Amino acid sequence: MSPSRLAVVCGGSRGIGAAVSHLLAERGCRLAVVSRNEDASRAAVAALPGADHVAFSCDVSQEQEVQRTFESIRRSCGRVTYLVNAAGINRDAVLLRTSSEDMLALLHTNLLGCMLTCRAAMRDMLHMRDAAIVNIGSVVGLKGNAGQCAYSATKAGLAGFTRSLAKEVASRNVRVNLLAPGFIHTDMTAGLSEEQSARSIPLGRFGEPEDVAQAALFLLESPYVTGQVLVVDGGLHLTM
């Protein structure tokens, strides 16, 4: 992987995003780490191997913030080669107890945010003719899950968006793929009983953020893979 490649990781200050950032930095990429909290972005950058990484704060659900952030990235770091969309929130509840505000928050961050960042990065990528995007979805976006109707809908939307964008930009050699993780050790799964939940996972354990990062690296580096949904869940989808 060329050290001149600039990788933007949205949601890169923790969990899966932080693991992806660290692995890409190890592979020689320059990182632009984006999160809502500037201090968290700076702390994540400070922990990365290598130098010249940059921290940015941005709420990806806000169009003007996304535009300003990517303009700043372009001015200070150059053209974007890789984009990883790992920013996301959850608001778990059965549909009857899910407020409209929570539905909109999920849609704006998980789905609209990804669309906005992809559009912002495309200005660079279409001219480079060698770029890649990895969006982070969820296995529940493919299989559904009781108590996660709104969350599942946003992640299912990412699958359709990813496949459609892959078709739009393939002629410019821009590749777009989706990862669909299962139970991964992150803040979002901190309240779950691993012993109980792992019974439904054929591999018998939760995954680590690094497991997803390895899959993201594979998709970013694979020159003939686009429009794909790669499930990283220890076999959970086989039992759902």
Answer left, alpha or beta for residue 104, where phi above 0 means left and psi between -120 and 50 means alpha: alpha
Q: What is the pLDDT of residues 101-139, one digit of tens each?
A: 999 999 999 999 999 999 999 989 999 889 999 999 999
The letter for the amino acid at 183 is F
pLDDT value at residue 240: 86
pLDDT value at residue 2: 54
Q: What is the pLDDT of residues 41-94, one digit of tens each?
A: 999 999 999 989 999 999 999 999 999 999 999 999 999 999 999 999 999 999
Between CA 49 and CA 85 the distance in angstroms is: 21
82 is catalytic: no
What are the structural domains of the chain? 6-238 (3.40.50.720)
Q: What is the pLDDT of residues 11-42, one digit of tens each?
A: 999 999 999 999 999 999 999 999 999 999 99
Between CA 67 and CA 22 the distance in angstroms is: 25
Least confident of 3-17, 148-162, 211-225: 3-17
Q: What is the pLDDT of residues 140-191, one digit of tens each?
A: 999 999 999 999 999 999 999 999 999 999 999 999 999 999 999 988 777 7
pLDDT value at residue 186: 84
Between CA 131 and CA 146 the distance in angstroms is: 37
Between CA 107 and CA 82 the distance in angstroms is: 24
pLDDT value at residue 3: 53
pLDDT value at residue 32: 98
Kindly report the pTM of this predicted structure: 0.95
Write down the catalytic residue from 70, 82, 151, 183: 151
Among residues 23, 22, 27, 20, the alpha carbon closest in space to that of 5 is found at 27
